Structure 1
């Protein structure tokens, strides 16, 4: 078995997990365990996961179907912009809209 085949299977498996997690967050508000405590807006987090999965799949899929060329360089730039947009979306999903800052990790008490 060629190593590229194995790497492609591993990438497809991880992209599938990311897609399922994004759809689950959008549909029912379920977030992966490690991120669950910090995420305030699960729907935005799920949209960020879907954008990230699509951006990561864009260049390898194009190279596998059509091979390298000048269009692949432009697609790489578009994929990088998608990765940055997904990072911003996922970071915004962890911020509380009402407070303006990050979500509280411990209860805060007013000063006496």
Structure 2
């Protein structure tokens, strides 16, 4: 049995396995309407999982981009001044913060002077 809430047009707005406040009816079997609702919910759940995965990886990607930009500068492919002024400031701030935490030393050879 499913407990449902419908809008003024009779469309499902909520389906639960347990009674809830505001429910407007009950459906006793797997009707095409309930099957469609559950299928749509599965699609939404899967999309939310993908979104969460992307959000969790965003911080990791920032570190990858930091390292990539640093490597391009170190190899002489680009210079810090090739970047927009605000990007320069952000990269310098991040580089200083990472150096302060000891995170950048592992990326430098002992004879390197720094990225800038």
Question: TM-score scaled to structure 1, two decimals?
Answer: 0.30
User: Could you say which structure has the greater relative contact order, defined with CA pairs below 8 angstroms and 6 or more residues apart?
Assistant: 1
Structure with the larger helix share: 1
Question: TM-score scaled to structure 2, two decimals?
Answer: 0.29
Structure with the larger strand share: 2
